[in-house]
Structure 1
Amino acid sequence: MSERILTQPALADLAGVPARSRWVASGPIRLHALDYGGDGVPVLVLPGITSPAIAMDFVARELTGLVRPIVLDVRGRGFSDDGPSYTLEDYAADTEAVITELGLDGAVLLGHSMGARIAGLTAAKGQVALRGTVLVDPPMSGPGRGPYPTTLAAFQGQLQQARRGTDADEVARSWPRWPRREQELRARWLTSCGDDAVAETHRGFESEDFFDFWPSVPAPAVLVYGADSPVVSALGAQEAARANVGARLVEIPDAGHMVFWDNPRAGLEAVRDILRELVA
């Protein structure tokens, strides 16, 4: 069983988050989400491999007023239960359960990294009604495509560092461009991510091919990627454009894989523009 820890300082962060907790059952798995409310079109935000929901609070805040953001603690992260497995199919089934149980028909899916893969597969399956899909820097690794740029050992080292006790200054040595608050949240909340969830998801990055389902993601679909991303290379972006001609690609300058963290202004402005078009 994965060791997962939430300390009092981490829980205290929630006092400043303008969202309420929502709970959904996906089979035996209890899933937690942060619902920012409002009367706008719901946008279900799906975070990355080591990002609990609160890690995307700064993204959700920039979208309130325009849409109704709901950020999911993906299974094995944050307050959501561990799962018996962590395949893309598992994650997509969880996403369908959240949309169904919270009455989010006609939602937009907005996913980053792992979450972009989940959003893409959910949309391609077509089991729930969606208004559109926004995929931000989805891992394009897979069988015959080379490894995911960040090794599993690197992720495991980050988890161990967090559990022995880390702080924003130490996080900043790995992520110097991030806003200070996001470095602080990373230091306090990474321990909520389970070893099994991270390890199995990382294996999926290299065994489950993004391009198996990407051509079937229906329009409107937008793929956003960092100009300097090692995850979505220039060649990968070109292949994505050829494989799904109905999708639009948007490049974010001066950003790597962590698009919103690397260049918050440009990344969030681009997503707001995309969402304005989708909800018009």
Structure 2
Amino acid sequence: MTDTSLLYGANVHANGIRQHYLRYGGKGTPLVLVPGITSPAITWGFVAERLAEKHDVYVLDVRGRGLSATGPDLDYDLDSYAADVRGLIDTLGLKDVTLLGHSMGARIAIRAGRINDASLARLVLVDPPVSGPGRRAYPSRLEWYTESIHLARKGMTAEDMRRFCPTWTQEQLELRAEWLHTCDELATRISFERFHTEDIHQDLPHLKVPARLVVATRGGVIQAEDETEIKSLNPAIEIVHVPDAGHMIPWDNLPGFVEAVL
């Protein structure tokens, strides 16, 4: 059996729903990792293994993804996602938390940090979409997500997934092909639409805990003018760049990502 720092997966009832998470390492201060729009917790396992060298890592299945609660009766807006994260932290009794979010997860972390930063030691905001009302669109297309979800629901192989993620390793493709069907299409559609209707920039001046923005050098999501605006809204935010990486930074440059985070 391959050595792993994975301790267990578990469910908690927090913010009124079932939330599933995976825990890695168990030593050091807690780090809560919030993945992006179609990334179940398990697909971040290879990243969590590295982060667990320094932190007690909790990787969340965001509502509508993985093994957490899903369905058309749930809300899929930033406030609800942020309340889920707050509920998880409070229910588990975590203190001195590093809250790390990637893409949509970074937008969630920003909103969570603004609404209630109790128990938060710092924020790590990895390549958040900076789209919003009156702003340029997020560069990815909704159909990229929905078409792959449709195929995953029918049953797809790693080779089927390769045309969506051509640079990924065989293991990464296999894992995504196995788990993507757990990403609810309605939740994905609503979340994608809200990339363009919800504004995270209004939250940035209100962040009081230390925050680091991690930018992909060839992701196209955050551009130089965005960094300038973010710094103007909150000069305390630290900005670091990960070379040789697109938006899915750890998949392209895991050592660079870990160095930027830790």
Q: State the TM-score, normalizing by the size of structure 2.
A: 0.93
Inter-CA distance 247–43: structure 2 relative to 1 (3 Å threshold): same
- Report the secondary structure of 1:162's partner residue: helix
- Check whether the contact 1:226–1:252 (CA below 8 A) recurs between aligned residues: yes
Separation in structure 2 between the aligned mates of residue 73 and residue 167 of structure 1, nearest angstrom: 22
> Aligned pair 1:35/2:23, yes or no?
yes
Offset, 1:127: 4.8
- Report the secondary structure of 2:6's partner residue: coil
> Aligned pair 1:104/2:94, yes or no?
yes
Q: Which residue identity is paired with 2:47?
A: V
Counterpart among 202, 218, 241 of residue 192 in structure 2: 202
- Report the secondary structure of 1:148's partner residue: coil
Separation in structure 1 between the aligned mates of residue 163 and residue 242 of structure 2, nearest angstrom: 23
Counting helix residues as a fraction of each chain, which structure ranks higher? 1
- Check whether the contact 2:216–2:243 (CA below 8 A) recurs between aligned residues: yes
- Report the secondary structure of 1:20's partner residue: strand
Offset, 1:215: 2.1
Offset, 1:139: 0.7
Counterpart among 67, 72, 96 of residue 79 in structure 1: 67
> Aligned pair 1:135/2:132, yes or no?
no
- Check whether the contact 1:99–1:128 (CA below 8 A) recurs between aligned residues: no
Separation in structure 2 between the aligned mates of residue 104 and residue 43 of structure 1, nearest angstrom: 9
Offset, 1:92: 0.5
TM-superposition CA deviations, 1:229-263 (whole Å, max 9, x none):
12112221221122110010001111111111122
- Report the secondary structure of 1:212's partner residue: coil
- Report the secondary structure of 2:100's partner residue: strand
- 2:240 maps to which residue? 250
- Check whether the contact 1:152–1:202 (CA below 8 A) recurs between aligned residues: yes
> Aligned pair 1:68/2:64, yes or no?
no
Identity between Structure 1 and Structure 2 (%):
42
Offset, 1:176: 2.3
Offset, 1:16: 7.0
Q: Which residue identity is paired with 1:77?
A: R
Separation in structure 1 between the aligned mates of residue 207 and residue 39 of structure 2, nearest angstrom: 24
List alignment gaps of at least 5 residues for structure 1.
1-14, 273-280
Counterpart among 215, 240, 255 of residue 265 in structure 1: 255
Counterpart among 145, 152, 155 of residue 162 in structure 1: 152
- 1:172 maps to which residue? 162
Offset, 1:17: 7.4
Offset, 1:265: 2.0
Inter-CA distance 193–213: structure 2 relative to 1 (3 Å threshold): same
- Check whether the contact 1:24–1:97 (CA below 8 A) recurs between aligned residues: no
- 2:7 maps to which residue? 19
Offset, 1:269: 2.2
- 2:107 maps to which residue? 117
Separation in structure 2 between the aligned mates of residue 217 and residue 137 of structure 1, nearest angstrom: 17
Q: State the TM-score, normalizing by the size of structure 1.
A: 0.88
Q: How many residues align?
A: 258
- Report the secondary structure of 2:171's partner residue: helix
TM-superposition CA deviations, 1:76-98 (whole Å, max 9, x none):
11100015110100000000000
Separation in structure 2 between the aligned mates of residue 184 and residue 215 of structure 1, nearest angstrom: 41
